């Protein structure tokens, strides 16, 4: 509804910025909670949102943030950091989520939570009721946050909708090779565009289920108006793509042919991933609109433009 | 083995003190990690252990505590507090466990972890592979700690044995009615001995699976020498006792006849609980040695003695 208050945690981040832009576009009144003092990726709509800088794992923000009807809870520490700083992972990904629950309890807000499909472990067409297999502290914290939401629903009637994100990619996704944060499409694209050597971890036959970032806000908006008290959905394409296939596509749009080096697999890396999106199609009417070809082309174009600007 | 170093977290507490006494008795070299500056329940052997006062949820103790071969990890926040201070529950029960895992990683130590059978939710003869049903932040944090241990085993080969404690009761168990901490046997016994009114929450037909605290150390010691890399055991009697039956037994040993008042059930209270102990009998050779009659009699005697001393 136009003018309705929405709080977006992690709203200056990669996914968050796309979500906030869409919300502003549709006339929502948006508050963004971010740990960063920079505007992050939010430059387009920064003047149209209320920005609150706070550490989500602490409780100070609970009294600072005005009432919202919905919390879109995206703030998190990334999976690849989680064995290096497991305590920080617990703080941000679980304690942060408990704080969001307490906020929701205080204001009778509804939560839309970005969980992660990595919690299934290796799987093909995993369904929401399938058993989980957590292999990193990140997985445990995301899954625990889901369990907390379920407990708060039973105890207090707090409504949460959990979306288990598959591999989201697209414009604005950051890379941090030193910290081991190398999202597949962005890393290939940036390295190919910069003429740097390419490394594929493992044999490259491991698969990912890719969702273009511009397809995410629509799912969250649909979840905002979903009636169930507590529910879980995969946010996925349902399609398995091999790392080497993704590399081929990125190479095609960059317009180069390079032979990648191979390095050992990363800790906690998952061999096969794909997640059924039957439930989200059926219950929320969402489906991925952007093909991998289209999405990867748009991502390569965006990174090319960013790099061009940076090097001008 | 005699002289072997063992770290006991929460070692001044109710269960911890019985465990530490047994370890000292058997010749282990024991370090106790406690948040409390008092000796707690550890008066009997306080001069025979190394006591370190620290907040388990912080990391400072990691460098302070000397190497141990085994960590018996008992420190935790109680279940009944967890909805009141969910953030503290995450800190102590999950962050604390992650810190224990990091300690174990640093020293290549083995972990024996006190999880809780409350994570099954309502159940009859639950087995270790049965699905869990977490209804409080405490349940989520205990279960998450188990999942963390499994992830650390896969990632680093850290060995953990999880014991899911049923309702442990016995001498030295504390009561804190203001904070909602009212363990059933101790609360009935103390109130009856003091001539205070008795309250039964709910109809009293809810059941508990009681284990006498003096039977616990033997299970932990057996787990210390268990060979599996990661495993989970119920530590239970396998027997369901109704709250009203427990009340009858306590009344008999106190030697009074009182009609209890009834109050609404506590949040997150579980209707029926009993847990199969088939696996721990088979794999660790443990079984409960103390009957409820015997255990409750010993508990009433101990509380009678304590109250007598306090009022002298």
pLDDT in tens, B117-158: 999 999 999 999 999 999 999 999 999 999 999 999 999 999
A103 catalytic residue (yes or no) = no
Q: What is the pLDDT at residue A307? A: 87
Q: Which residues of B touch A (CB under 8 A)?
A: 59, 83, 86-87, 90-91, 94-95, 98-99, 101-102, 134-137, 139-141, 143-144, 147-148, 150-151, 154-155, 267-268
Q: What is the pLDDT at residue A3? A: 80
- What does the block give as tokens for A113? 């939570």
CATH 3.40.50.970 fits B5-169+212-236, yes or no: no
Q: How confident is the model at residue B2 (pLDDT cuts 50, 70, 90)?
A: low
Among the listed residues A28, A103, A138, A169, the single catalytic one is A138
Distance from the Cα of B96 to chain A's closest Cα (Å) equals: 9
Nearest to B268 among A94, A155, A268 (CB): A155
Q: How confident is the model at residue B312 (pLDDT cuts 50, 70, 90)?
A: very low
Distance from the Cα of B143 to chain A's closest Cα (Å) equals: 8
Q: What is the mean pLDDT of chain B?
A: 94
Between CA B85 and CA A95 the distance in angstroms is 12
Is the distance from CB of B134 to CB of B143 less than 8 angstroms? yes
Is the distance from CB of B135 to CB of B142 less than 8 angstroms? no
A5-169+211-236 folds as Rossmann fold (3.40.50)
> Which chain B residues touch A90 with a CB distance below 8 Å?
90, 94-95, 98
Q: Which residues pair with A73 in a beta bridge?
A: A9, A113
Long-range contacts of the stretch A253-257 (C-beta < 8 A, 24+): A253/A189, A253/A296, A253/A297, A253/A300, A253/A301, A254/A189, A254/A192, A254/A193, A254/A300, A254/A304, A256/A192
Q: What is the pLDDT at residue A180? A: 76
ipTM of the complex: 0.92
pLDDT in tens, B250-273: 999 999 999 999 999 876 677 899
What's the whole-number mean pLDDT along residues B232-237? 98
Domain spans of chain B, in order of start:
5-169+212-236, 184-207+240-278+292-311
Cβ separation B151–A141 shorter than 8 A? no
> Which chain B residues touch A154 with a CB distance below 8 Å?
135
Is the distance from CB of B27 to CB of B42 less than 8 angstroms? no
Between CA B236 and CA B280 the distance in angstroms is 9
How do A199-201 and A261-263 pair as beta strands?
A: parallel
Q: What is the pLDDT at residue A44? A: 84
Which parts of chain A sit beneath pLDDT 70? Answer: 1-2, 267-268, 309-312
Between CA B73 and CA B114 the distance in angstroms is 6
Nearest to B90 among A86, A90, A150 (CB): A90
Between CA B13 and CA B172 the distance in angstroms is 8
> Which chain B residues touch A94 with a CB distance below 8 Å?
90, 94, 144
Q: What is the pLDDT at residue A226? A: 93
B184-207+240-278+292-311 folds as UDP-galactose 4-epimerase; domain 1 (3.90.25)
pTM, to two decimals? 0.94
Share of chain B above pLDDT 90, in %: 85
Cβ separation A94–B98 shorter than 8 A? no
């Amino acid at each position: 509804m136009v003018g309705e208050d929405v709080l977006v945690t992690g709203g200056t981040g990669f996914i968050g910025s796309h979500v906030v832009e869409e919300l502003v576009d549709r006339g929502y009144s948006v508050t963004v909670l971010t740990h960063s003092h920079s505007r992050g990726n939010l430059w387009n709509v920064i003047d149209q949102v209320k920005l609150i800088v706070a550490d989500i794992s602490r409780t100070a923000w609970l009294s600072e943030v005005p009432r919202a009807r919905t919390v879109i809870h995206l703030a998190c520490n990334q999976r690849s950091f989680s064995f290096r700083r497991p305590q920080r992972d617990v703080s941000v990904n679980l304690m942060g989520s408990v704080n969001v629950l307490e906020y929701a309890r205080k204001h009778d807000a509804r939560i839309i939570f970005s969980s992660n499909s990595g919690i299934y472990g290796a799987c093909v067409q995993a369904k929401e009721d399938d058993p989980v297999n957590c292999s990193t502290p990140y997985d445990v914290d995301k899954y625990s946050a889901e369990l907390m939401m379920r407990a708060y629903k039973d105890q207090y009637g707090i409504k949460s909708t959990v979306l288990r994100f598959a591999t989201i990619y697209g414009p604005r996704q950051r890379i941090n090779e030193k910290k081991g944060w190398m999202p597949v499409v962005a890393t290939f694209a940036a390295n190919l565009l910069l003429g740097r050597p390419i490394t594929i971890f493992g044999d490259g036959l491991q698969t990912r289920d890719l969702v273009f970032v511009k397809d995410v806000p629509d799912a969250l908006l649909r979840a905002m108006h979903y009636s169930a008290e507590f529910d879980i959905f995969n946010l996925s394409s349902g399609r398995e793509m091999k790392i080497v296939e993704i590399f081929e596509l990125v190479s095609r749009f960059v317009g180069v042919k390079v032979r990648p080096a191979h390095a050992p697999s990363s800790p906690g890396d998952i061999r096969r991933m794909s997640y059924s999106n039957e439930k989200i199609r059926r219950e929320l009417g969402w489906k991925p609109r952007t093909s991998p070809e289209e999405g990867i082309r748009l991502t390569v174009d965006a990174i090319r433009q960013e790099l061009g600007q940076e090097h001008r």
